[in-house]
A and B are shown apart, each in its own frame.
Chain A
Amino acid sequence: MDEKTEMMDFIGISNIDELFVDIPEDVRIEKLKIPDSIDEHTLRIEAKNILSKNKSFFDMPSFIGAGVYNHYIPAGVYAIGSRSEFYTAYTPYQPEISQGMLQTLFEYQSYIAELTGLDATNASMYDHASALGEAARMAHSINEKKEILIPKNLTWQKKSVLWNYIKGLGMNIIEYNYEENTGKIDLEDLKNKINQNTSAVYAENPNFFGVIDDHVLKIRELGKFIFIAGINPISLGILKPPADYGADIAIGEGQIIGNPMNFGGPLLGIFATKMEYVRKMPGRIIGMSKDRNGKRAFVMTLQTREQHIRRARATSNICSNEALCAVFSASYLSFLGRSGLKRLAEINVQRANDVREKIASINGFRNAHNSLHFNEFVIKLPRSEMDIHRYLLSKNIHGGYLLNTWNKNAFPELGDAMLFNVTEVHTDEHIEKLLSALREVQ
Chain B
Amino acid sequence: MFHQAIWEEKLIFEKSGRRTLKLPNEDVKLNVNIPTDLLRDNLNITDNEEYEVIRHYVRLSQMNYGVDLNTYPLGSCTMKYNPKISEEIVSMDQIKYVHPLQDESTVQGSLQIMYELQEYLKEIAGMDAVTLQPVAGADGEFTGLLLVRAYHENRKDFKRTEIIVPDSAHGTNPASSTMAGFTTIEIKSNENGMVDLDALEAALSEKTAAFMITNPNTLGIFEENIIKIAKMVHEKGALLYYDGANLNGIMGKTTPGKMGFDIVHFNLHKTFATPHGGGGPGAGPVGVKNHLAEFLPVPIIGFDGKRYYFDYNVKNTIGKVTGFYGNFAVLVRAWAYIKMQGGNGLKEVTEMAVLNTNYLRKKLQGYYDLPFKELRKHEVVFSGTNFKPYGIKTLDIAKRMLDYGLHAPTIYFPLIVEEALMIEPTETESKEDIDKFAEIMIKIANEAKESPDLLKNAPQNTAVGRIDEVEAARNPILSWKMLKK
Within 8 A of B (CB), among A337-371: 337-344, 346-347, 349-351, 353
Q: How far is the CB of A132 from chain B (nearest CB, A)?
A: 10
Asked whether A128 and B38 contact (CB < 8 A) given A24-B226, A89-B66, the answer is no
Which of A57, A109, A128, A334 touches B12 (beta carbons < 8 Å)?
A334
Asked whether A320 and B137 contact (CB < 8 A) given A50-B113, A107-B12, A292-B465, the answer is yes
Asked whether A121 and B478 contact (CB < 8 A) given A157-B323, A212-B38, the answer is yes
Q: Mask for A16-51, Cβ within 8 A of B = 1, else 0?
A: 100111111011110111111111100110111011
Which of A37, A115, A137 touches B342 (beta carbons < 8 Å)?
A37
Asked whether A16 and B355 contact (CB < 8 A) given A93-B74, A299-B467, the answer is yes
Residue of A311, A322, A339 contacting most chain B CB atoms (<10 Å): A311
| Nearest-neighbor residue (CB-CB) of B483 within chain A | A288
Asked whether A114 and B45 contact (CB < 8 A) given A126-B135, A266-B281, the answer is yes
- Contact (Cβ within 8 A) A113 B479: yes
At the interface, yes or no: A411 with Cβ under 8 Å from chain B? Answer: no
Q: Which residues of A contact B38 (CB under 8 A)?
A: 205, 212, 214, 217, 239-240
Asked whether A27 and B227 contact (CB < 8 A) given A264-B324, A313-B178, the answer is yes
Chain A contributes a number of interface residues (CB within 8 A of B) equal to: 197
- Contact (Cβ within 8 A) A340 B321: no
| Nearest-neighbor residue (CB-CB) of B358 within chain A | A11
- Contact (Cβ within 8 A) A261 B94: no
Q: Which residues of A contact B352 (CB under 8 A)?
A: 4
At the interface, yes or no: B240 with Cβ under 8 Å from chain A? Answer: no
Q: Which residues of B contact A351 (CB under 8 A)?
A: 25, 28
Binds B, one of A164-172, A187-195, A196-204, A222-230: A164-172
Asked whether A38 and B40 contact (CB < 8 A) given A90-B77, A320-B281, the answer is no
- Contact (Cβ within 8 A) A319 B224: no
- Contact (Cβ within 8 A) A324 B100: no
- Contact (Cβ within 8 A) A100 B56: no
Q: Which residues of B contact A100 (CB under 8 A)?
A: 59-64, 463
At the interface, yes or no: B43 with Cβ under 8 Å from chain A? Answer: yes
Q: Mask for B359-383, Cβ within 8 A of A = 1, else 0?
A: 1001100000000000100000000
Within 8 A of B (CB), among A34-90: 34-40, 43-44, 46-48, 50-60, 62, 64, 66-68, 70, 72, 74, 76, 78-80, 82-90
- Contact (Cβ within 8 A) B320 A160: yes
- Contact (Cβ within 8 A) B319 A163: yes
- Contact (Cβ within 8 A) A311 B174: yes
Chain B contributes a number of interface residues (CB within 8 A of A) equal to: 192
- Contact (Cβ within 8 A) B39 A239: yes
| Nearest-neighbor residue (CB-CB) of B66 within chain A | A88
Q: How far is the CB of B423 from chain A (nearest CB, A)?
A: 14
Q: Which residues of A contact B92 (CB under 8 A)?
A: 47-48, 51
* Cα–Cα distance between A239 and B35 once the two chains are bound (Å): 9
- Contact (Cβ within 8 A) B45 A111: yes
Q: How far is the CB of A158 from chain B (nearest CB, A)?
A: 7
Q: How far is the CB of A390 from chain B (nearest CB, A)?
A: 9
| Nearest-neighbor residue (CB-CB) of A72 within chain B | B24
At the interface, yes or no: A424 with Cβ under 8 Å from chain B? Answer: yes
- Contact (Cβ within 8 A) B322 A287: no
Q: Which residues of A contact B139 (CB under 8 A)?
A: 126, 130, 318
- Contact (Cβ within 8 A) A29 B178: no
Q: Which residues of B contact A344 (CB under 8 A)?
A: 23
9 pairs of A and B residues whose beta carbons are closest in the complex: A168-B181, A264-B100, A264-B324, A323-B279, A100-B64, A37-B342, A324-B277, A337-B47, A88-B66
Task: Return 9 A-B CB contacts under 8 Å, by A number.
Answer: A4-B355, A76-B53, A93-B74, A100-B60, A103-B60, A137-B179, A264-B325, A336-B23, A398-B106
